[in-house]
Structure 1
Amino acid sequence: MKKFATHSWAVREALARREPFDTYGAFHAVEGYHLPFRDRLPHRWREQYIEDGDEIIYTVLSYRTPIAWVLRCGAVVIPDVKYSQTTSGHQSMLYALSEPAEGALAIAVQEERQEARERATRRRQASAVGTPRDPAVAISAEELTWSAVRERAGALEGTPDTVARIDDVLSRRVPVNSGEAAIYSAEYLERKHGNRDRREAA
């Protein structure tokens, strides 16, 4: 199953295409009817979900609670229910279920991927031995910071997953004040793993 960062354009595209996906958080989608599910869905909507059962072709979940589903006839059901701040963030993505798969979402995803490829190319060019840095491909301070984060992550325990997540963050725009940006910041990694190194040395 495809795995994305929670608030990425790739998730929106998957929703528009009604494709199953997973994220690094509690937001995911599956084909068809999903059992078992958590009982945080209010009774009326729980009964509706069960009744729709065989007609459901796609279910979107937050913490294993169905927050939207799509019926065979194409109807999209989004319960009007307030949840936690995290689930509310997941609910804010559900508009993509009613967007055309080949429309603005697909264009935005393609632009993000192109920007990621261009950033990767600039980093490779700048790090090439003996290659003078071309002002046209100058690397921003933010990108240098992310490069340092990736290099630091490469020396940490559990590197494949950590580096994969950082690569995912690097492949798209992440709000500076988001939790995702915070947990992969140079300061966070240095504090977390620097403290661990000091404990081991003691």
Structure 2
Amino acid sequence: MPRPRSLTPTAIAAAALAVIDRDGLSGLTMRAVAKELHMATMALYRYVPDRDGLEALVVEEIFQVIDMSPPPQRDWRDRAAALLTRMRDAAMAHPDAVPLVLRHRQSSVGSLAWIEAMLAVLTEGGLTGRDRVIAQRTLIGFLLGFLQNAHYASLAGTGTADMSNLSTQDYPHLALTAADARKVSAADEFRGGLEIVLRGLQP
């Protein structure tokens, strides 16, 4: 296959995301991405050393679409919620790539920019020092937990359905809660959880 004259990291990441969106994360290989780019597999190694390199490019591409500009809301909690929502939307646009976001987020320049934007919002809200550290870690923990649940344990998944069929005599609260959970959308789960977390952040 002919090698493109100029192959940018963005082009490689877009091809890798196309493979993931179509074939799932297990389909992400150097060979599959090379085929997507209409080039020989060995030629791709001139640009990316291995699959780990592909994964890092994918995560960077996901973060690049996030608007890092200060949210327009007046209340700092609303601005924090806006930033968290932007990151959630970017990650969930490619649900099969969520494990890569969890794995490579700390090495992504885009992730660092997002964290900086969030810290600026927390600082404007009066959080500094120890309180800012804990607030930032708590918000990120909530977001990553939501993404992980959405990928591995969605409320609409079979696991929740199975638990709703448990014996109400042995597991009365679990069976009832699992049945209720099937009526909760992913958007409602995110907004509701985020409201609880933000209410607890008192500068």
What's the TM-score once normalised by structure 1's chain length? 0.26
Q: Which has the higher helix share?
A: 2
Question: TM-score if structure 2 supplies the norm length?
Answer: 0.26
Pick the structure with more strand per residue: 1
